[in-house]
């Protein structure tokens, strides 16, 4: 499939180049802050991209996606606190636990549809939030400090700013590539078919919920990876990452960028987090501007930023 | 035994408060098919208005009434300026827009009232304990919440079931397009319903204010509870919201009060003290998950569309 040259693809390509070259810019100007900011952005972009897989392509409006950020993070944090510092153990555990959680809540949640699905995923995420708050051995409400970042036996040093940035960026690109392959595979086409007409897909012999569930688990696992990265980035994990407003943030990034477009969530994460950061630099009350901006985007820019670009290039 | 009675009353009081919040949410949801995350912000605004007006006027009742009017007005303005353009849009668009409103209201409150919480002191006549049955005393204020909320619930029932406006509301909940086609001014009806929901949320906020601190983010926790209730009760059903609210209020309160002791009997001390707070906070979400798995339409689904 040869990507066509249009405004949204051009933006995506430019974005990738800019993200890859960012550490060079940071090294030349000595601006370390921008590197740490974009490390965070890359991690959230990965989480948003995984949410986009189920929301945009699968039609599953999960309002509990931040749970995986916490689960991946706590897997790293708890293992580190118990003296297991190796990333080769921490990360697979983070992915496996996220996948297991997704399998469990997915199997139950997918019995419902529409608003009920939104609410039940929210309920499960809230449960995960309260479980984490009760882990008094691991900091409870206050959260858990990760004193040492995951150790990859000299292969890569996570405490090095540039190396860690490229690791996050690599995970983001890897995740996007995986999602792109999934979306264009037979499996992905079935999932999208189920989104647009479930009954028809059932009638021609596809077990709709089984496809949905697998897609749900894949998305959860990818977001678990983002969680593991996030815990390493902040050296800290707390129940607050799983609170429902965090899931709301992820949803905002996806919708803002453009649901159901591969690069939409990346654009959404960049715009949302940059806006938040810029606004917080000249006003303490960033929500006063950010809130109405979101409202205006919904009212006047359907399909998010990528949708807007798509319309522009069609003229 | 006395403790059980007291906790049951606490549960009932909390449940009724949740009902006030959930009633507005379920009406707006059921009639306009509108997901309003900012409903919790209206609850918060009700509490802040009350704290301000009570301090200004020096009278609790007068301040509360002014706060109620202010929230009603705020709801109507909000609906007129922004939210009415979102009816008929995708639920996700509504989530995004009203999520933006939460951000806006939280920072607006921080700007106006400052980051520290406010206290809403009670007048002396509401702080005395009342003897409800021999030997059992209960705070007068909590008793008043129960009475007011029950009265409002009864009034709501009468309005919805016995008046012309109520008939239109019910008709709107079962078929929106049809009542529009029959020449009813839906825009006005929607604004009215939204204002009513806002006032109910404000009432819940201002009544809860003296018990808890008035603070930023107070609406976010309770909003999710209200959503849980309308989902358990069946979206669009006021009766369902009422039953589910009482149910959730009592289960949540009883769970917090008695679960730790129960767990200590089964588990070892350390395990129980870890599990108890998590389990009692999770109880209602667990309940909702079970109900949704077994009855995906809620317990009392409104009439089929």
Give the total number of structural domains in chain A: 1
For residue B220, the 8-state DSSP code is: H
Query: How many Å lie between the alpha carbon of A104 and the closest alpha carbon of chain B?
Result: 12
By three-state DSSP, how is residue A227 classified?
Answer: helix
Cα–Cα distance, B203 to B150 (Å, whole number): 13
Which positions ≥6 away from B237 have C-beta within 8 Å? B26, B30, B298, B300, B301, B302
Give the total number of structural domains in chain B: 1
The range of the structural domain enclosing residue A85 comes to: 34-243
Q: Is residue A216 part of a domain?
A: yes
Burial tier of B192 (Cβ tally within 10 Å: 0-12, 13-18, 19+): middle
Tokens of A223: 């977001």
Instruction: Evaluate the CA torsion angle A147, A41, A37, A132 in order and state its sign.
Output: negative
Which positions ≥6 away from B246 have C-beta within 8 Å? B12, B15, B16, B19
By three-state DSSP, how is residue B132 classified?
Answer: strand
Q: Work out the angle at residue A51's Cα, subtended by the Cα atoms of residues A286 and B225, and round it to the nearest 5 degrees.
A: 65
Q: Is residue B305 part of a domain?
A: no
DSSP A12-59: HHHHHHHHHHHHHHHHHHT-HHHHHHHHHHHHHHHHHHHHHIIIIIT-
Q: Is residue B300 part of a domain?
A: no
Q: Is residue B41 part of a domain?
A: yes
Terminal Cα-to-Cα distance of chain A (whole angstroms): 24
For residue A151, the 8-state DSSP code is: B
In tens digits, chain B (305 residues) has pLDDT values of 778 888 899 999 999 999 999 988 888 887 778 888 899 999 999 999 999 999 999 899 999 999 999 999 999 999 999 888 888 788 888 888 898 999 999 999 999 999 888 888 888 888 888 887 777 788 889 899 999 999 999 998 898 888 998 888 888 777 778 888 888 888 888 898 899 999 999 999 999 999 888 998 888 888 888 888 988 888 778 888 999 999 999 999 998 888 888 888 877 767 777 777 778 888 888 888 888 888 877 787 765 44
Contact B22, B241 (CB under 8 A): yes
CA B69 to chain centre: 17
Quick one: closest CA in B to A114, which residue? B91
Low-confidence ranges of chain A (pLDDT < 50): 1
| CA distances from residue A163 to A40, A42, A147, A167 in whole angstroms, order as listed | 14, 13, 19, 6
Contact between chains at A292 and B104 (C-beta distance less than 8 A): yes
Cα–Cα distance, A108 to A121 (Å, whole number): 9
| A-B contacts at Cβ under 8 angstroms | 142
Contact between chains at A124 and B289 (C-beta distance less than 8 A): yes
Query: How many Å lie between the alpha carbon of A175 and the closest alpha carbon of chain B?
Result: 24
For residue B46, how many other CB atoms are within 10 A of its CB?
Answer: 34
Q: Is residue A138 part of a domain?
A: yes
Look at residue A191 in the predicted model and tell me its pLDDT: 94
CATH of the domain at B52: 1.10.3470
Q: Is residue A290 part of a domain?
A: no
By three-state DSSP, how is residue A314 classified?
Answer: helix
From A114, A130, A291, residue closest to B103, measured CB to CB: A291
Look at residue A122 in the predicted model and tell me its pLDDT: 87
Contact B257, B19 (CB under 8 A): no
From A120, A288, A291, residue closest to B292, measured CB to CB: A120
Query: How many Å lie between the alpha carbon of A204 and the closest alpha carbon of chain B?
Result: 25
The range of the structural domain enclosing residue B154 comes to: 2-294
Query: Closest Cα to residue A59, out of B224, B31, B91?
Result: B91
Question: Hey, which residues does A86 pair with through a beta bridge?
Answer: A151
For residue B208, how many other CB atoms are within 10 A of its CB?
Answer: 24
| CA distances from residue A70 to A74, A241, B252 in whole angstroms, order as listed | 6, 6, 25
Query: Closest Cα to residue B45, out of B187, B288, B216, B168?
Result: B216
Q: Is residue B91 part of a domain?
A: yes
Q: What ipTM did this prediction achieve?
A: 0.81
Quick one: closest CA in B to A280, which residue? B107
Query: How many Å lie between the alpha carbon of B178 and the closest alpha carbon of chain A?
Result: 23
Contact B20, B42 (CB under 8 A): no
Contact between chains at A291 and B281 (C-beta distance less than 8 A): no
From B86, B91, B110, residue closest to A115, measured CB to CB: B91
From A116, A131, A302, residue closest to B231, measured CB to CB: A116
Quick one: closest CA in A to B276, which residue? A134
Q: Is residue B126 part of a domain?
A: yes
By three-state DSSP, how is residue A143 classified?
Answer: coil
């Amino acid at each position: 499939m040869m990507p066509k040259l249009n405004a949204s693809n051009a933006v995506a390509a430019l974005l990738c180049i800019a993200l890859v070259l960012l550490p060079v810019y940071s090294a030349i100007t000595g601006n370390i802050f921008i590197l740490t900011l974009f490390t965070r952005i890359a991690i959230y972009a990965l989480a948003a991209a995984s949410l986009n897989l189920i929301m945009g392509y699968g039609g599953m409006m999960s309002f509990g996606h931040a749970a995986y950020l916490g689960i991946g993070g706590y897997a790293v944090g708890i293992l580190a606190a118990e003296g297991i510092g190796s990333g080769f153990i921490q990360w697979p555990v983070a992915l496996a636990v996220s996948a297991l959680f997704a399998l469990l809540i997915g199997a139950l949640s997918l019995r419902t549809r529409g608003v009920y699905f939104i609410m039940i995923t929210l309920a499960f995420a809230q449960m995960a939030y309260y479980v984490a708050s009760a882990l008094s051995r691991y900091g409870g409400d206050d959260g858990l400090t990760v004193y040492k970042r995951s150790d990859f036996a000299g292969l890569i040093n996570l405490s090095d700013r540039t190396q860690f940035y490229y690791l996050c960026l690599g995970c983001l690109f890897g995740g996007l590539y995986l999602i792109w392959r999934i979306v264009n595979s037979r499996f992905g086409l079935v999932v999208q078919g189920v989104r647009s007409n479930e009954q028809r897909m059932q009638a021609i012999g596809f077990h709709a919920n089984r496809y949905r569930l697998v897609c749900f688990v894949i998305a959860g696992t990818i977001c678990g990876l983002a969680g593991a990265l996030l815990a390493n980035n902040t050296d800290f994990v707390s129940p607050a990452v799983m609170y429902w407003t965090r899931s709301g943030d992820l949803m905002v990034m996806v919708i803002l960028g453009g649901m159901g477009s591969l690069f939409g969530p990346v654009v959404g994460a960049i715009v949302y987090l940059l806006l938040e950061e810029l606004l917080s630099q000249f006003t303490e009350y960033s929500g006063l501007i950010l809130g109405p901006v979101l409202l205006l985007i919904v009212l006047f820019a359907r399909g998010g930023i990528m949708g807007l670009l798509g319309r522009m290039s069609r003229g | 035994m006395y403790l059980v009675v007291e906790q049951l009353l606490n549960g009932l009081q909390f449940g009724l408060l949740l009902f006030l919040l959930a009633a507005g949410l379920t009406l707006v949801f059921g009639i306009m098919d509108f997901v309003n995350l900012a409903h919790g912000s209206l609850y918060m605004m009700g509490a802040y208005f009350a704290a301000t007006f009570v301090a200004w006027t020096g009278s609790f009742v007068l301040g509360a009434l002014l706060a109620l009017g202010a929230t009603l007005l705020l709801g109507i303005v909000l609906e007129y300026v922004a939210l009415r353009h979102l009816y008929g849009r995708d639920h996700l668009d509504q989530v995004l827009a009203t999520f933006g409103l939460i951000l806006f209201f939280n920072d607006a409150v921080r700007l106006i009232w400052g980051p520290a919480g406010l206290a809403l002191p009670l007048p002396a006549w509401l702080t005395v304990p009342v003897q409800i049955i021999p030997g059992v005393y209960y705070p007068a204020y909590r008793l008043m919440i129960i009475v007011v909320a029950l009265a409002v619930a009864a009034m709501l029932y009468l309005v919805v079931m016995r008046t012309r406006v109520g008939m239109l509301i019910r008709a709107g909940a079962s078929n929106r397009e049809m009542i529009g086609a029959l020449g009813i001014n839906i825009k006005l009806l929607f604004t009215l319903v939204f204002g009513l929901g806002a006032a109910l949320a404000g009432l819940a906020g201002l009544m809860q204010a003296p018990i808890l601190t008035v603070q930023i983010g107070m609406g976010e926790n309770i909003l999710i509870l209200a959503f849980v209730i309308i989902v358990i009760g069946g979206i669009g059903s006021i009766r369902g919201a009422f039953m589910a609210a009482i149910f959730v209020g009592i289960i949540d309160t009883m769970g917090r009060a008695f679960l730790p002791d129960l767990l200590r009997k089964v588990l070892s001390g350390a395990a129980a003290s870890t599990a108890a707070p998590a389990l009692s906070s999770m109880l209602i979400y667990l309940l909702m998950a079970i109900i949704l798995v077994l009855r995906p339409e809620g317990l009392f689904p409104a009439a089929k569309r």
